[in-house]
Structure 1
Amino acid sequence: MPTPKFILELRSKIGHDPLWLPGITAVVLDEDDRVLLARRADDGRWTLIAGCLEPGEEPAIAILREIQEETGVEAEVERLVSIEAMPPSAYPNGDQVQFLDMCFRCRPISGEARVNDDESLEVGWFPLTDMPEIPLREQRCLANALAPDHLPKYAGRPTSMG
């Protein structure tokens, strides 16, 4: 996937130093309790649909954009599932990054799932009982999206400021 222009501009100023970025992830579930997954072109792993917010973009709007861009599926956000600070990581070129990920539960409203950009090798709907392996963090997003209480989950425990 091409690096967004705003990140390239930041990297021209900070080099490979750590960059804090807002990330978004979608658990898209259809009426048959199938989840929408994409197999990434860069590493071949199956994943939930995810991306990075553009400057000034609202998270819920951004995840709907990502779903459509990557899969051709038009969706709507049902609710916020979780907010989680991801561990720091580095790309092969040495760029250091850390994401604050916001996971949303979404439902499809139109469109057929298909590879719709160069970020994915395959796209498809999978029954919850017969899915390919997805990363552990995404397994947590999925479990939280299926939780009966519908409350957003937060890593760690809030502490009193007083």
Structure 2
Amino acid sequence: MATPDFLRELRATAGQQLLFLPGVTAIVFDDKGRVLLGRRTDTGEWAVIGGIPDPGEQPAECAVREVHEETAVRCEVERIVLVQTREPIQYPNGDICQFMDITLRCRALTTECYVNDDESLEVAWFEPDSLPPLDEFGIHRIKLAMGDGPTWFEGMPQG
């Protein structure tokens, strides 16, 4: 994930201390039920699509923007899947961030996909039962987005 300009400016005065930031994850399905994934430049691993909202940007706007920027796919947001504060992470440069992730289920309006920025090595559609290796973050969110249950909140009883 490329560091947004506003975050670079904030780091110039805040240093490497913990920053609590919003994050948005988009789980995008096409009309065939396939899910859209990208293979990240920074890790080489397949992952769900996501990013950091710009100041003042709504989560749904961020999801639509990030999906298009990374994959060239146009989508619309259908519902909130999950809201979860993640554990703090320290990046190799020493910066510490903690993200509150808002995961949104999205429906593809177009399906032609290709690498559309420098954050991905590949982008592709996958059948949910034939996913490439993914971390638990992505697997959990895809499973929840496939269902029609209520929004999942960390630490709350799930019915």
Distance 1:135 1:24 in 2: 17
Quote the Cα distance in structure 1 between the aligned partners of 2:72 and 2:148: 29
Consecutive unaligned residues in structure 2, runs of 5 or more? none
Alignment correspondent of 2:135: 135
Q: Which runs of 5+ in 1 are unaligned?
A: none
Question: 2:37 touches 2:125 (CA, 8 Å); kept in 1?
Answer: yes
Alignment map for 1:98-117 (pairs within 5 Å): 98-117=98-117
- C-alpha deviations, 1:97-124, integer Å up to 9, x for none? 0000000000111251100000000000
Structure 1 residue matching 2:139: 3-state secondary structure? helix
SS at match of 2:126: strand
1:118 counterpart SS class: coil
The alignment partner of 2:21 has SS state of strand
Residue 16 of structure 1 corresponds to 16
1:153 corresponding residue in structure 2: 152
The code of the aligned residue for 1:43 comes to T
* Structure 1 residue aligned with 2:81: 81
Are positions 1:65 and 2:78 aligned together? Answer: no
Alignment TM-score, normalising by the size of structure 1: 0.93
**Percent of residue pairs bearing the same amino acid type:** 45
Q: CA deviation at 1:85?
A: 0.5
Work out the number of aligned pairs and report it.
Answer: 157
* 2:114 and 2:124 in contact (8 A); partners too: yes
List structure 1 runs of 4+ shifted beyond 3 angstroms.
Answer: none
| Secondary structure of residue in 1 paired with 2:104 | strand
User: What is the RMSD of the two structures over their aligned residues, measured on CA atoms?
Assistant: 1.2
**Cα displacement string for residues 76-109 of structure 1 (whole angstroms, at most 9, x for unaligned residues):** 0010100011110011000000000000000111
Structure 1 position 25, deviation (Å): 0.3
| C-alpha displacement of 1:139 | 1.2
Question: What is the match of residue 53 of structure 1?
Answer: 53
Distance 1:111 1:27 in 2: 14
Counterpart amino acid of residue 100 in structure 1 = M
Equivalence for 2:97: 97
1:56 CA displacement: 0.5
Contact 2:50-2:63 at 8 Å conserved across structures? yes
User: Partners in 1 of 2:129 and 2:63 — Cα distance?
Assistant: 25
Deviation per residue, 1:36-64 (Å, 9 max, x gap) = 00000011010010100110000001100
